[in-house]
């Protein structure tokens, strides 16, 4: 049985849980991080010396970093599905996973932390506006990409969707004004047709 350490409100934990639920894998999740703490324990440190969530234990395999965990689960438990046999198709999923981590998430994190982790009196409205504008620009790229395909990798759910789909929920859940992106809206509705997405990702923001 898989064991996951991490709180459900973490976007990185959500990617892992969506994957596990999508694949119907037997698992246990242990609350850790945020208000649950536990990251400073010797046990957790032995699994992840950087003391961050999520952590996955699968038998004798222990992993941290959500993208690595998602890739591992796909490769081990869904070869030919989330883990395509075609290298080009697999690389397109990797492409969007990396793009989300290094391009989309930095400004998105600024907006999230300002709105959900910073007392209202201490917030920086210009910083929020600047970061939100970058987030809108990045989702415009996603919207354009989705004009000719139902999912990020093509005709079926893939690794790219695990990353972009989790961010899409957070984008729609945050109390900010958003441009009208019709392809993105259709995509978001399509993702919500997947029970694993609704259960694993659509967690109220804290």
pLDDT tens by residue, 41-54: 999 999 999 999 99
Q: What pLDDT was estimated at residue 22?
A: 98
pLDDT mean over 73-102: 97
Q: Is residue 174 over pLDDT 90?
A: yes
Q: Give the start-to-end residue ranges of the domains of the chain.
A: 2-77, 87-199
- DSSP label of 101: I
Q: What's the CATH class of domain 87-199? A: mainly alpha
CA atoms of 69 and 67, how far apart (whole Å)? 5
Q: What's the CATH class of domain 2-77? A: alpha beta
Helix, strand, coil % in the chain, rounded to nearest 5: 60, 10, 30
Q: Are 47 and 53 in contact (CB under 8 A)?
A: no
Pairing relation of β-strands 27-30 and 2-5? parallel
| Identical topology for domains 2-77 and 87-199 | no
pLDDT tens by residue, 117-136: 999 999 999 999 999 999 99
Q: What pLDDT was estimated at residue 206?
A: 80
> What is the pLDDT confidence band of residue 196, given thresholds at 50, 70 and 90?
very high
């Amino acid at each position: 049985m898989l064991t996951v350490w991490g709180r459900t409100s973490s976007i990185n934990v959500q990617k892992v849980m969506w994957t596990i639920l999508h694949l119907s894998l037997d698992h246990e999740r242990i609350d850790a991080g945020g208000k649950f703490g536990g990251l400073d324990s010797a046990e957790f440190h032995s699994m992840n010396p950087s003391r961050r969530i999520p952590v996955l234990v699968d038998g004798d395999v222990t992993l941290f970093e959500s993208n690595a965990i998602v890739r591992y689960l796909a490769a081990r438990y869904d070869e030919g599905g989330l883990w395509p046999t075609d290298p080009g198709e697999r690389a397109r999923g990797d492409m969007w996973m990396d793009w989300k981590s290094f391009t989309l998430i930095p400004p998105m994190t600024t907006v999230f932390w300002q709105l959900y982790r910073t007392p209202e009196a201490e917030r920086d409205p210009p910083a929020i506006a600047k970061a939100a504008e970058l987030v809108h620009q990045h989702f415009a790229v996603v919207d354009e990409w989705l004009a000719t395909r139902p999912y990020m990798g093509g005709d079926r759910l893939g690794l790219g969707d695990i990353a972009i789909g989790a961010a899409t929920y957070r984008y729609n859940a945050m109390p900010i004004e958003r441009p009208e992106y019709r392809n993105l809206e259709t995509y978001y509705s399509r993702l919500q047709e997947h029970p694993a997405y609704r259960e694993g990702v659509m967690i109220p923001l804290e």
